[in-house]
A and B are shown apart, each in its own frame.
Chain A
Amino acid sequence: MIIAERKPVDEILGMVKNAERILVLGCRGCVTVCSAGGEREVEILASLIRLGMKKQGRDVEVIEGSLVRQCDKEYIDAIDQWQGRYDIIISTACGVGVNFIANQRPTDKVYPALNTSFLGGSPEQGVWTEQCAGCGNCILHLTGGLCPVARCAKSLLNGPCGGSVDGKCEINPQVECVWQLIHDRLGRLDNQDMMNEIMPIRDWSTAGHGGPRKVLRDDLTI
């Protein structure tokens, strides 16, 4: 899922400084699961905005709402229910949600409450780690299911590099060297020969280097 974190309150207060009526809009998708922008976090942020503005001697109206998702057109249309009741929208969705509101509602002011961090998972409660870079050309079948694009600091396709020491990455001793993990795992799976395969120079156009990406499914379009 998409992992995100709330921006510092100061930054958000800067975005809303000229607004009188603010719609704090949550998303019940990924950001609810990673506890960054669901209904609970909307309630907290709305409270922080009211308190922060009150501290500055200002009373603002803060409406709390949330959508099933902010990354589908039909759900964005549901913002109509608050029409005329807000000057700006503070979205607690990921960057996709903010973009979708901006795309669909040309005259609405929308600002991000979150920093969208990465595609990841939760190995334990309260911890999230990056697992996938969304590079558009998956090679996990060649690397024992562990992604060097997302999890190697250099995104090396033929690792490890000389900075791998005792299974840790040179950038930080807390970071595991994914190429060490790949090596160990391929060995356990009796596929260690795959380490001898040299991966060719890669075409990164699918990773966004060829411009914004788009998936079109003819079988689903109407």
Chain B
Amino acid sequence: MSFTPDIQAFCCHYTSQQTIAEGREGLKNDGLPDSVNLNRLVCTGKLQVSSLLKAFENGADGVYVAGCPADECHNMKGSRRAAKRVLAVKKALKELGVEPERVEMYHLQRGFHPEFIEAAQEMDKRIKDLGPCSLKGEDK
């Protein structure tokens, strides 16, 4: 059975500059999977654990965060804070009996670079392999 996951990506202003320049169509041509929905933030340090959990509540099969390199965040510690919150969500998913790899943190270079698309492709493959998220309760 084919499965098109719902993947929510939270990207900071700097790692997702490419998205503004190219738009959805341009990114698609670069290889951005249809399953990935981009949510832009001023800084990933702004993200709360509850925002990531809310994405799962809203039906996401996978969630990832793309922030600046850990030691080169535009806002000093923003992406490091985000990484800690992703870890907290991994722990929460584990507590709920769900694969913690459904949520991930990526530290990416700012601006235009292939890693932005590669992260999306990696998550797309990972979530397709895992199948639908059991938090949707659809298998009950």
* Residues 88-136 (chain B) with a chain A CB within 8 angstroms: 92, 95-98, 134-136
* Residues 46-104 (chain B) with a chain A CB within 8 angstroms: 48-50, 53-54, 56-57, 92, 95-98
Chain B residues within an 8 Å CB radius of A44: 49-50, 53, 92
A207 at the interface (CB under 8 A from B): no
- Contact of B48 (CB < 8 Å), options: A9, A40, A57: A40
Chain A residues within an 8 Å CB radius of B137: 54-58
Chain B residues within an 8 Å CB radius of A47: 50, 53-54, 56-57
A43 at the interface (CB under 8 A from B): yes
Whole-angstrom CA separation of A89 from B8 in the bound complex: 32
Are A55 and B96 in contact (CB-based, < 8 A)?
yes
Chain B residues within an 8 Å CB radius of A40: 48, 50
Contact with B along A1-40 (1 / 0, CB 8 A): 0000000111000000000000000000000000000001
Number of interface residues of B (CB under 8 A): 17
Q: Is the interface of A mostly helix, strand, loop or mixed?
A: helix
**Closest chain B CB from A38 CB (angstroms):** 12
Q: Which residue of A lies closest to B84 (CB)?
A: A126
Which of A8, A9, A57: most chain B Cβ within 10 A? A9
Q: Which residue of A lies closest to B134 (CB)?
A: A55
**Closest chain B CB from A54 CB (angstroms):** 4
Chain A residues within an 8 Å CB radius of B134: 55
**Closest chain A CB from B59 CB (angstroms):** 10
Are B53 and A55 in contact (CB-based, < 8 A)?
no
User: 15 extra interchain contacts, Cβ-Cβ under 8 A, other than A44-B53, A55-B137?
Assistant: A40-B48, A43-B48, A43-B50, A47-B56, A48-B53, A48-B92, A51-B53, A51-B56, A51-B57, A54-B137, A55-B96, A55-B97, A55-B134, A55-B135, A58-B137
Can you list 9 residue pairs at the A/B interface with Cβ under 8 Å? Answer: A9-B92, A43-B48, A43-B50, A44-B49, A47-B50, A54-B135, A55-B134, A55-B135, A58-B137
4 closest A-B pairs (Cβ-Cβ)? A57-B140, A47-B53, A9-B95, A54-B137
Q: Which residues of A contact B (CB under 8 A)?
A: 8-10, 40, 43-44, 47-48, 50-52, 54-58
